[in-house]
Amino acid sequence: MPPEAADPQSWPEAARREMGDDGGTAAAAAHRAAVFGHVDRLHEQLREFNPDVVVVWGDDQYENFTEDIIPAFCVLAYDNVRARPWSHRGGENIWGEDADTEIEVAIDHKFGVELADALLARDIDVAYSYRPAHHPDLPHAFINAVLFMDHRREGFAYPVLPFQINCYGRRVISYQGSVSRLADVRKAVDPRSPSPARCMQMGAAVADAILASDRRVAVVASSSWSHAFLVDKTYRRFPDTAADQELYEAMVAGDWDRWRQTTVDDVEDSGQQELLNWFALAGAMERAGATLDWSAFEETHIFNSSKVVAAFNAVDGE
């Protein structure tokens, strides 16, 4: 990193404003409050919809899938699990929960089997799993969806169906889908992730399968948007806010063709690997003809990633 890039005076004005004179403490509290406010609104709409099951698209960052297999897509049709979300994470959390805290998560195994079969019948070569491989319960993308939706700890009332997407592609084993030093450039990288367009095709097939079923199903993309620690062109200081805003504006406008034109190289250049979960959601919403009800883009430059919360109107399968 050139010396001038480390100088806060060279940072974008918005980043300096967030940092303030308290090291970002006040901005962090405001960012979290805003995001949780949107999540509360989303959770209330979920209660009104009262789904039979919630399908959660999420990534696996070298947690459950490692060297023995990295599926492009995998339906985790487990039985119910007792997750211990803090057992492998250091540091404190806002709930004061310790490493022994357990969260009961209901998983709809039967629907997982039905969905995997329906996708294979629609030429989507999805993998499926009935039990964890290397993770004792649920990788963070899936348990976080429950933890955040139930951030008030009142209980999450709906069974979920975790649906893994290999978002980290060329970094999933070589960098274990995690943080690395900017200078740590490795010659041996992994095969690429499925393309954004393919994720949209998969999402469309999921929508078809859901609409053909007799279930009330909600679908969730579990991830924030570009991650600073993946954006080399900002020296991993900031997320690619401009790229995020472009896709966000296209989503608001219902311009799914703009999303479909995104390539794997585009995603990797902007640190948007985890947005592949949202590409699956985009494909599902487009196929179902679901219109956007409301959305919010909580921008940040210094807290690793901006957060998008969005709700689409329900579609009747009949």
Q: Is the pLDDT score of 183 beyond 60? A: no
Angstrom distance (rounded) from CA 87 to CA 135: 11
Answer whether 182's CB lies under 8 Å from 75's CB: no
Burial class (CB in 10 A: 0-12, 13-18, 19+), 9: exposed
Cα→Cα distances 290→10, 165, 315, Å: 42, 22, 6
51-75 tens-digit pLDDT: 999 999 999 999 999 999 999 999 9
83 by DSSP, 3-state: which? strand
Q: What is the DSSP letter of 240?
A: -
Amino acid identity of residue 142, one-letter, is F
User: Where are the extended beta strands (E) located within the chain?
Assistant: 53-59, 73-76, 81-83, 103-105, 127-129, 160-165, 217-221, 292-298, 307-312
Out of 98-107, 174-183, 260-269, 300-309, pick the least confident: 174-183
Query: Which pLDDT score, from 0 to 100, does residue 180 have?
Result: 67
Confidence of residue 102 (pLDDT cuts 50, 70, 90): very high
Q: Which pLDDT tens digit goes with each residue over 23-32? A: 999 999 999 9
Q: Is the pTM of this model over 0.85?
A: yes
pLDDT, residue 91, reads 80
Hey, what are 185's tokens?
Answer: 């450039």
User: Is 307 in contact with 222 (CB distance < 8 Å)?
Assistant: no
Between vectors from CA 119 to CA 66 and to CA 83, what angle results, nearest 5°? 45
Residue 247: closest CA among 196, 287, 199: 196
Query: Which of 85-94, 141-150, 214-223 is predicted least confidently?
Result: 85-94
Kindly indicate the confidence band of residue 189, based on its pLDDT and cuts at 50, 70 and 90.
confident
The pLDDT value recorded for residue 7 is 86
Q: Which domains does the chain have, with CATH numbers?
A: 51-294 (3.40.830.10)
312-315, long-range: CB within 8 Å, 24+ apart, which pairs? 312/285, 314/49, 314/290, 315/211, 315/288, 315/289, 315/290
Residue 106, pLDDT > 70, answer yes
Instruction: Name the pLDDT band for 138 (thresholds 50, 70, 90).
Output: very high
